[in-house]
Every structure is written in structure tokens, then in C-alpha cells.
Amino acid sequence: MKSNYQIVVIGGGTGGIMTAAQLLKKDSSLDIAVIEPAESHYYQPAWTLVGGGTYDMAKTKRTMASVMPAGVAWIKEYAESFQPTENAIILRSGDKITYEALVVAPGLVMDTSLIEGLTESLGKGVVCSNYTDPEHTWEVLKNFKGGNAVFTQPTTPIKCGGAPQKIAYLAADYLRKNGLKDKSNVVFATPGSVIFGVKPVADTLMEVIHRYGIHFKPFYAPVKIDGDNRIVTFKSVHPDENMCIVNEGNVLKEKMEGNSVIEMPFDMLHLAPPQTAPKFVKESTLVNDAG
């Protein structure tokens, strides 16, 4: 293995692979290395479809060798630290790789400790996530017989801002097709103020939400999950939020304390776990105050 390249890409996920491939497409003479320790590559965008029962998980996995662009040097190592003033990366082995340009695409890592009770609850019973085990999401959805199906996301940045709501739409469609629509409340609760940041897209998505009868709850940040008692606690991130609906027939039940803490019972809970930059990125000089 040589130690210097024109371009070094950290990460062999979809972002890193696409970037390397596009650069070589523009100039096949470029000297590019991809640092990626994994032997398998997962096409994670399809995990949403797996969770909705419309795609096979096995088809989302390929060998890393089969997707690595021809013409790049594949360094099967972990990146351990940055030395940006020297244009260098230190590998876990201790070797140093230098570059003219660096692309940082290691993805995000899940940090379930950032929501109380999530570590203990995730992947068990009816608490599921397409981000960690989409096949479990599909099992939970198949076994759902009615009640509250709650979909939410954290206050941290996440991979694919749309994924937490995509599964809500797939689930709502599944419930409609299987005669469970009238027995169910589909809830999409988000810390955000709108369903999507681009207005024309948001307008269309609100039509979808109304069509399926989904309860849209903006300004709801999940802070605690009680998997045993099936209660998710939200904190309102909007000072004037007080849109509590209490037990109207089969309508969603919420218990609100003051106007800031909301307890919501669930019979299915899907969420994107809180996500952070990998440790070696967080501890580097490349990050902002938020890491």
C-alpha cells in the first residue's frame, strides 16, 4: 500500500462510493483511495422499503469489492484521526496516508443513550427502527392489530431526513389495505415545525397526510421511551404548543402536563435513533461546536 494519493475518500457507503465513481467518470487518471474496513456494503435507502414489507433485505447487501469503483485503491482499514494541517489521515494500524484533497463520508452512528429508555427498548417488542433492523419493523407492522402507530425522529441530525415519515406513509397504506384504518391512529411526531423544509414538497406531503388521516404533530421531541408500558414521552419544543387531544372515541389519547411534556401510549413505535458523527470525527479539529 502506498501512502500518498491525490484524493482520499473516508467511507465506502453510498456517499463515498458515489463520490469516488463520479470523480473517476470525469477524469479516469485521478489517483483516488477509499478508506473502508467493511467487507459488506448496504444500500440503506432501501431499508425503508424493507420495513414496509415491499423489499427483500438480502437484496440491500453486496460485497464491498463488488461496488468499489474500478480504478480506486481500496484501503481496508479504519481511519483513526485527522492531521489536516499536514493533509494526513492516521489509520488504526498507525500508518499515515497523505492527500491533496480529502472527502469525509463515514456516515453517522446511532447513539441510543440520547433518549432515556431507548437503549433498553429498541428492537424489542413493538419498538422498532428501519435505521437498525428494518426486518423487525416489518414484523411489528404485520402483527399490528390496531391502536396507536407512532412514528417519530430525534432532535439530532439524521441520515435521510425523510425516512422517518416514509415508513409512516407505507404503514398507513398497509393498514388501509388490510382493513385496519378505522381501528388505528397513525401519528407522525417531529421536533420540526413543518413536514418538510421545501414548501412545494411540504404542500404535497400535507395532502398525503390528510388523505391517510395521519395525526401530524410538529414541535414534538421524543425524550423518553417506556417499552414495557408502551408510553413515549415528548417535550414540546414550541413555547405555545398545546394541541392536546384527549380520548375522543378511538382518537389519539395524549396526557399533557402543563404545556411542555406529553405522554403518548403506543401499540407500535418507530423512530430514527439519535445520531452523531463517528468518534474519530467528533474528536477532530474539523467539527463545529455541535460536533
Of the given ranges (94-103, 149-158, 257-266), which has the lowest mean pLDDT? 257-266
User: pLDDT band at residue 39, thresholds of 50, 70 and 90?
Assistant: very high
Q: What are the residue boundaries of the structural domains of the chain, listed by start?
A: 4-107, 110-271
pLDDT tens-digit map of 74-96 = 999 999 999 999 999 999 999 99
Of 222 and 256, the one with more pLDDT: 222
User: pLDDT band at residue 252, thresholds of 50, 70 and 90?
Assistant: low
CATH 3.50.50.60 fits 110-271, yes or no: yes
User: pLDDT band at residue 290, thresholds of 50, 70 and 90?
Assistant: confident
Q: Are strands 184-190 and 215-218 parallel, antiparallel or unpaired?
A: parallel
| C-alpha distances in Å from residue 263, one per residue of 49, 63, 233 | 29, 44, 4
The answer to whether residues 64 and 41 touch, using CB atoms and an 8 Å cutoff, is: yes
Going by C-alpha positions, the residue among 117, 119, 118, 132 that lies closest to residue 163 is: 132
Phi/psi at 130 (5° precision): -65, -20
As a whole number of angstroms, the distance between CA 223 and CA 10 comes to: 32
CATH 3.40.50.720 fits 4-107, yes or no: no
pLDDT tens-digit map of 260-274 = 889 999 999 999 999
Alpha-carbon dihedral sign for residues 18, 22, 24, 25: positive
The answer to whether residues 147 and 231 touch, using CB atoms and an 8 Å cutoff, is: no
pLDDT tens-digit map of 196-248 = 999 999 999 999 999 999 999 999 999 999 999 999 999 988 755 444 433 33
Q: Which letter, b or e, does each residue of 84-111 get, where b requires 16 or more Cβ atoms within 10 Å of its Cβ?
A: eeeebbbbeeeeebebeebbbbbbbebe
pLDDT tens-digit map of 14-25 = 999 999 999 999
Please report the pLDDT score of residue 253 as a whole number: 55
Please report the pLDDT score of residue 237 as a whole number: 83
Do 4-107 and 110-271 fold alike per CATH?
A: yes
Please report the pLDDT score of residue 244 as a whole number: 41
Please report the pLDDT score of residue 250 as a whole number: 41
| C-alpha distances in Å from residue 179, one per residue of 171, 175, 188 | 12, 6, 20
Q: Which letter, b or e, does each residue of 140-152 get, where b requires 16 or more Cβ atoms within 10 Å of its Cβ?
A: bbeebebbbbbbb
As a whole number of angstroms, the distance between CA 286 and CA 10 comes to: 14
